[in-house]
Amino acid sequence: MPYGDRMRPHSRTILPKLVAFAIVVGLSGCAATPDSTPPPPAPSPTAAAAPVFANNDEALAAATEAYAAYLSTADLVTAEGGTNPERIAPFVTAEYLATELAELAEFQELQVRTTGATVFRVTKLQYADYLNPTEVEVAVYICEDVSGLDVIDAEGTSLVASDRLPLTPFEVRFQMKSSILVVSARVPWRGGGVC
């Protein structure tokens, strides 16, 4: 039998096998395509981030605590004649820091210092704006009592006028800084009804 004839019967048996193999491989290839794989599970809904304060009472309490820390530090710096005024920085915003440093620098320039301490009470929450779950702006009315605070010169002589008004109302605003409230503005309140 010629060489070519010997191959024909063998080709007839191989050809169907090759075709079947190609179909199986082709089908298995299709099964591996991304379209036929089940989609990944949908991400589970995450719980909404809780606001920084649950309510206005918490905001008011945080503002009161923040102002106590601010005022205590301010009294300490002025009692030491305005030295190292940058100690007030953790309790105020970066924008308000320049104002604070300028006021505290006057104690060094005039060579005066304070004795005693300022007393305050928060009389009312003006507003609490919840800008997003981790950021809030708070404004409160504060009555400061400086009757126990004196300003003295280098010789220890009091510089406080005898007719000084001991109570001063302020509107104080706060912003978040490193997850705590800090003073962003402090202006005398002219509207009355605070002290």
Summarised one tens digit per residue, pLDDT across range 62-71 is: 999 999 999 9
Residue for token digits 């099964």? 31
The pLDDT value recorded for residue 4 is 41
Summarised one tens digit per residue, pLDDT across range 144-153 is: 999 999 999 9
Summarised one tens digit per residue, pLDDT across range 75-112 is: 999 999 999 999 999 999 999 999 999 999 999 999 99
The pLDDT value recorded for residue 181 is 95
Query: What is the gyration radius of the CA atoms in the chain, in angstroms?
Result: 38
Rounded to 5 degrees, φ, ψ at 53 are -125, 140
* Rounded Cα–Cα distance for residues 59 and 50 (Å): 14
CB 70 within 8 A of CB 91: yes
pTM given for the model: 0.72
Mean pLDDT throughout 36-49?
A: 51
